[in-house]
Amino acid sequence: MSSHAHLTENDPTFTAKKRSTGEIIRRVSAYLWPYKGLALATIACAVMSLLCAFAFPRLTQYIIDDVIGLGNTSQLDTAILLLVGAFFLRDFFNCVRIQVNNHFEQNVVFDMRREVYARLQRLPVRYYDKRASGDLMTRVIEDVNAVERLLIDGTEQGTVAIVSIFGVLAILFATNPVLAGVAMIPIPLLALGAMWYTLTAHKRYRKQRQASSAMNALLMDNLQGVREIKAFGREQHEDGRFTDRAEAMRQGTLTIMRAWAFYNPSMSFIAATGTGLVLWIGGGQVMDDQMSVGELVAFLFYLALFYEPISKLHGLNQMLQSARAGGERVFDILDSTEERKTAAANRPLPEPVRGEVEYRGVQFNYTEDKPALNDITLIAKPGQMTALVGPTGAGKSTLVNLLSAFYETSDGKITIDGQSIAETSLQSLRRNISVVSHEPFLFNGTVRENIAYGNLDASD
């Protein structure tokens, strides 16, 4: 597309097919399978760290009731060493988990980003006519990162949180069923809060991702067209345009943060009321000699281990909504139809290629209501120079683009040495065609690298 196309959020560049959360999770989970060993190792280390943390409340109860309460000073040193050992093992397994998780994370994001980029390389030129480069860059970098966070943190933290919740729940009911029942009172409110956030968050995240694409698209546009901007003295005009895009990005992000600023503290407060209720009822049981101080303290520690993973699940819910919005945009690329991917278009040109080019009744439309070429017939013999003359917009470049199969004809046929290019593999076709653009593009690199781009093994 033109590097100076002006796009809006209603343009197809910034939209993607809506997909369910289940579809996003199912599809991104496929990227974990090649590294299932690392995934299992990460989860195993997290669970071991969690089990060591479970020892802390019980040891604390023992120290308060059986050591300090009974004046059993001979057991104090041993109990403290056990407590320190539990903390050491907890943090040791956590250290290993972080190391394994980093390898797991980088392998997965590498695979996903490489697959998205590879698909972009295989998409037809028409795909890029409707999309801004900055938008695609945002999808490859930012949206892949959003999906990757769900893959890694969702797998690890989600699994550990669920194990922790059910594990602690069993301990709470085994320790004191009455207090455990009291601790469950806030759960319906926490579930309703999570449901509200889940049902309302997706729209906010989609809008923020679209605003990010719009801003990046304009930025890349202006960097590529900086000479034209300076030549026409449009610096102030472009400042205003970028300010509008940046403001949309700011407002989209603030909308997400405002909802999170209400949701997260509200959930924390509701969980805190559960702790308050347990302390109220449990304090009465202690004063009535129905339980010891150490048992109450241990129960409160276990209760913290119960509410903490619930809080993590709220954070994962936020991550899930961000990943869903990013995943829609990533899979929009991965689901796009590749350039001429049919068995019928897989024949190489017959060697040696003579180069007789023939157009037979060729028609082409960029859009249905705007025909670019109509019933073009011509023959270019081998060794013959054929010049196309006409005003700008007459279709000269389009005619050449059809020969390289950058676009497919709407009707008619193009042949090289009598073989239809529609039946020819793109690799064979383009290997035998040299194109000199009237708007040359230089890649970042040396002059030699640019000259030799068509033949990387060329000698000096």
**CA proximity to 185, closest of 103, 71, 307, 66:** 307
Nearest 10 degrees: CA dihedral of 183, 188, 189, 195?
A: 140
Q: What is the DSSP string of 382-413?
A: TT--------TTSSHHHHHHHHTTSS--SEEE
pLDDT at 360: 92
Please, what is the average pLDDT of the chain? Answer: 83
pLDDT band at 15 (very low <50, low <70, confident <90, very high): low
Using alpha carbons only, give the angle 276, 50, 89 rounded to the nearest 5 degrees. Answer: 125
pLDDT at 344: 57
pLDDT at 7: 40
Task: Determine the Cα–Cα distance for residues 117 and 112; give it in Å rounded to an integer.
Answer: 9
What's the pLDDT tens digit per position in 102-128? 888 888 888 888 888 888 888 888 888
Compute the average pLDDT of residues 67-95: 87
Instruction: Give the whole-number percent of the chain exceeding pLDDT 90.
Output: 8
**pLDDT above 60: residue 146:** yes
Task: Determine the Cα–Cα distance for residues 425 and 349; give it in Å rounded to an integer.
Answer: 8
H/E run at residue 365: strand 357-367
pLDDT band at 452 (very low <50, low <70, confident <90, very high): confident
pLDDT at 3: 38
Compute the average pLDDT of residues 8-28: 62
What's the pLDDT tens digit per position in 281-328? 988 988 988 888 888 888 888 888 888 888 777 777 777 777 777 888
More confident residue, 411 or 3: 411
Contact between residue 32 and residue 39 where contact means Cβ atoms under 8 Å apart: yes
**pLDDT above 80: residue 81:** yes
Nearest 10 degrees: CA dihedral of 445, 447, 453, 459?
A: -120
The residues near 306 (Cβ < 8 Å, ≥ 6 apart) are 164, 165, 168, 169, 172, 183
Q: Domains of the chain (ranges plus CATH)? A: 12-334 (1.20.1560.10), 343-454 (3.40.50.300)
Q: What is the DSSP string of 162-225?
A: HHHHHHHHHHHHHH-HHHHHHHTTTHHHHHHHHHHHHHHHHHHHHHHHHHHHHHHHHHHHHHHT
pLDDT band at 342 (very low <50, low <70, confident <90, very high): low
Contact between residue 297 and residue 60 where contact means Cβ atoms under 8 Å apart: yes
pLDDT at 12: 41
Compute the average pLDDT of residues 379-383: 90
pLDDT at 369: 73
Compute the average pLDDT of residues 374-398: 86
Task: Determine the Cα–Cα distance for residues 135 and 326; give it in Å rounded to an integer.
Answer: 12
pLDDT band at 9 (very low <50, low <70, confident <90, very high): very low
Least confident of 64-78, 166-180, 374-388: 64-78
Compute the average pLDDT of residues 246-273: 88
**pLDDT above 50: residue 8:** no
Task: Determine the Cα–Cα distance for residues 248 and 64; give it in Å rounded to an integer.
Answer: 57
What's the pLDDT tens digit per position in 406-430? 888 888 899 999 899 888 888 888 8
Q: Which two tokens stand for residue 109?
A: 């994001």
Amino acid identity for residue 460 in this structure: D
Task: Determine the Cα–Cα distance for residues 178 and 348; give it in Å rounded to an integer.
Answer: 78
